[in-house]
Structure 1
């Protein structure tokens, strides 16, 4: 794919008339705004892996998974910055981290088919919308820096592909 071909593919296209604008998200400075066409993610997880903790500067990452076709950028794609954590380079090589180049807000982790959005950027209109993003599980839980005794399944690695660990 050419260096700029990503601009013509989901999720970077502007929402057209057939795109159902359900939830809006934005970065801290407002330069980057996007819409979701679904009101609930395929899954919602807390990731405790070391990369997520370092890149987010937080004890864990909260990610909600959507098909890239369920997302469209209202504005700001010219203000996006890409980071490939595998090669530690600033390029749009999938999978990659996507952030606002102005304020630094992490927007999503972009995969080949999926986008892992950060629900803290969404403008929920009510508690019903927010509840649909409730976390189903924790992944990479042994790498945690804080205990979260919430009764949710806790996996040693990826959910369903690793061992469950007991809640402390």
Structure 2
């Protein structure tokens, strides 16, 4: 039994070492990270992070059932950033992980990342990108740059923004009432 615990600890430590040595969890000097364009934090302030990209790659509203359940809301708003553009002030300290597909708290991608104290959702991490929650970003400088560009998996939001039945530009485009647009 003692050996089993030791092997288990080594396995966990290897996993922790792996993800903490790469973005966005790598705690690199600010000089190497570059100029901070945006700052963000969880509700209690334990988790703070910086963004070095002035504009998101894209942004989405997702209305799939999994996002509704996990976020307790009709949709999730997410701004897409490369992992290298995010720097957590304390590295992975204070973060909690949840792999929805596996239903466990072991770090793996994709994973949902939240504050371990207040449980504020921080982001969804994929293999190459992070979907950050823009509500946490201090938008006091230029809020229009962080607005979403399109929505997917959504219906019945009358805002004039492009909507799709599935992944954007790879599925049927919908009108504001969720009806397919005529070609």
**TM-score, normalized by length of structure 2?**
0.84
DSSP-derived class of the 2:170 partner: coil
Q: Deviations over 1:88-134 (max 9, x none)?
A: 111111011000110000100001110100010011222x2x11111
How many residues matched? 162
Between the aligned partners of 2:158 and 2:165, the Cα distance in structure 1 is 15
Between the aligned partners of 1:159 and 1:54, the Cα distance in structure 2 is 22
DSSP-derived class of the 1:140 partner: coil
Between the aligned partners of 2:43 and 2:163, the Cα distance in structure 1 is 31
In structure 2, what is the equivalent of residue 3 of structure 1? 15
- Of 144, 159, 162, which aligns to 2:168? 159
Give 1:159 shift: 0.6
Between the aligned partners of 2:91 and 2:157, the Cα distance in structure 1 is 35
Between the aligned partners of 1:21 and 1:98, the Cα distance in structure 2 is 21
Find out whether 1:14 has 2:23 as its counterpart. Answer: no
Find out whether 1:49 has 2:64 as its counterpart. Answer: yes
In structure 1, what is the equivalent of residue 86 of structure 2? 71
Structure 1's consecutive aligned runs of 4 or more residues displaced over 6 angstroms after TM superposition are none
Find out whether 1:139 has 2:148 as its counterpart. Answer: no
Higher helix share: 2
> With CA pairs under 8 Å and 6+ residues apart, which has the higher RCO, 1 or 2?
1
Mind listing any 5+ residue stretches in structure 2 that lack a counterpart?
Answer: 1-10, 178-183
Mind listing any 5+ residue stretches in structure 1 that lack a counterpart?
Answer: none
Task: Indicate if the aligned counterparts of 2:27 and 2:91 stay in contact, CA closer than 8 A.
Answer: no
Task: Indicate if the aligned counterparts of 1:31 and 1:76 stay in contact, CA closer than 8 A.
Answer: no
Between the aligned partners of 1:115 and 1:91, the Cα distance in structure 2 is 18
Between the aligned partners of 1:125 and 1:88, the Cα distance in structure 2 is 37
